[in-house]
């Protein structure tokens, strides 16, 4: 029997890094390292810049790594200069989209309302969505963590909207803003407490099954050195990793450690 009921999901977020050549080099090195042990089914995705998606899909060859997009518009087409639609990404082989990463919230005006439209629109179009939530340092210090998580999750997943599609295609990434790119990781106890709160919120709002089948990943300075302890927590189903996903060696180490715990 698997030790983790939802398996382990390791996702990398390259952010605005790696053009075509670096993408090709990354996958060429990763392919040399990768060995999938028998009886192991790792769930692995890499969210790469839109311009590198096609190359990533080519360069990954047979590696069981899904290539995802870091953002997408909720409409299928139209007068939205500078945006990419989900059907355009699907043509490149994308099935996973990151929604409302804290950098989109912080720098590009993403709100709970636009996160709701994206989550709803993309799930309705058949995509897998990774919805990012998390509090700032000031919010944590003001004891607002749970209130913020509740607002972000209930704002994005509404009963007539995304809640209709909680069939396992939605993943939630809990990423405390103060832990992203700072080297400060939430302690396993802090992370587990937030994950437990999210799991309970999903249960209360959308029922036991929806809550049980939604993976909740932790993100924020995850490294090969701290991933195992985080994954021992019952409600942590994987990790969303920025910095440590940029080196094939450390990304592979994260995947390996994830497979060991799964």
**Catalytic residue ranges:** 101, 175
- Rounded Cα gap, residues 58 and 238, in angstroms: 26
**Torsion angles phi and psi, residue 144, rounded to 5:** -105, 5
Quote the DSSP letter at residue 75: S
- Token couple for 64: 């069981």
CA atoms within a 13 Å half-sphere pointing along the CA-CB vector of 231: 28
- State the minimum distance, in angstroms, from the CB of residue 66 to ligand PGA: 16
Return all residues near 39 (Cβ < 8 A) that are at least 6 apart.
none
202 vs 222, beta carbon nearer ligand PGA: 222
- State the minimum distance, in angstroms, from the CB of residue 12 to ligand PGA: 9
157 vs 241, beta carbon nearer ligand PGA: 241
Residues that bind ligand PGA (CB under 6 A): 13, 175, 180-181, 219-222, 240-243
CA atoms within a 13 Å half-sphere pointing along the CA-CB vector of 154: 12
Q: Tell the residue number behind the tokens 């409409």, with chain if given.
A: 75
109 vs 183, beta carbon nearer ligand PGA: 183
210 vs 254, beta carbon nearer ligand PGA: 254
Q: Reduce the DSSP state of residue 69 to 3 states and report it.
A: strand
Which residue, among 225, 160, 229, has the nearest Cα to 190 in the 3D structure? 229
90 vs 253, beta carbon nearer ligand PGA: 253
Whether 252 contacts 30, CB under 8 Å? yes
- State the minimum distance, in angstroms, from the CB of residue 129 to ligand PGA: 15
- State the minimum distance, in angstroms, from the CB of residue 209 to ligand PGA: 28
163 vs 241, beta carbon nearer ligand PGA: 241
- State the minimum distance, in angstroms, from the CB of residue 183 to ligand PGA: 8
Q: Reduce the DSSP state of residue 259 to 3 states and report it.
A: helix
Residue nearest to ligand PGA (CB): 242
Give whole-number Cα distances, 250 to 64, 162, 192, in Å. 17, 34, 24
- State the minimum distance, in angstroms, from the CB of residue 195 to ligand PGA: 16
| Chain centroid, CA 131 distance in Å | 7
- Rounded Cα gap, residues 62 and 257, in angstroms: 21
């Amino acid at each position: 029997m698997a030790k983790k009921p939802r398996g382990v999901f390791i996702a990398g977020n390259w952010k605005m890094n790696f053009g075509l050549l670096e993408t090709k080099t990354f996958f060429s090195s990763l392919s040399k390292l990768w060995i999938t042990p028998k009886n192991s089914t790792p769930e692995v995705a890499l969210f790469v810049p839109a311009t590198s998606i096609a190359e990533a899909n080519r360069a990954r060859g047979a590696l069981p790594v899904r290539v995802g997009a870091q953002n997408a518009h909720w409409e299928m087409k139209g007068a939205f200069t500078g945006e990419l639609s989900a059907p355009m990404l699907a043509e490149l082989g994308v099935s996973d989209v990151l929604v409302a990463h804290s950098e989109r919230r912080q720098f590009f005006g993403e709100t709970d309302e636009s996160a709701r439209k994206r989550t709803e629109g993309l799930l309705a179009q058949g995509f897998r969505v990774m919805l990012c939530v998390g509090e700032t340092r000031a919010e944590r210090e003001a004891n607002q963590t749970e209130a913020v998580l509740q607002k972000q999750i209930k704002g994005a997943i509404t009963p007539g909207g995304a809640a209709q599609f909680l069939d396992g295609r939605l993943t939630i990434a809990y990423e405390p803003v103060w832990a992203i790119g700072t080297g400060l990781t939430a302690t396993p106890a802090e992370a587990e407490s937030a994950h437990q709160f999210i799991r309970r919120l999903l249960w209360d709002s959308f029922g036991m099954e929806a809550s049980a089948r939604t993976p909740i990943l932790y993100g924020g300075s995850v490294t090969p050195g701290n991933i195992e302890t985080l994954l021992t927590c019952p409600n942590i189903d994987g990790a969303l990793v920025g910095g440590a996903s940029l080196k094939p060696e450390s990304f592979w180490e994260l995947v390996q450690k994830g497979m060991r715990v799964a």
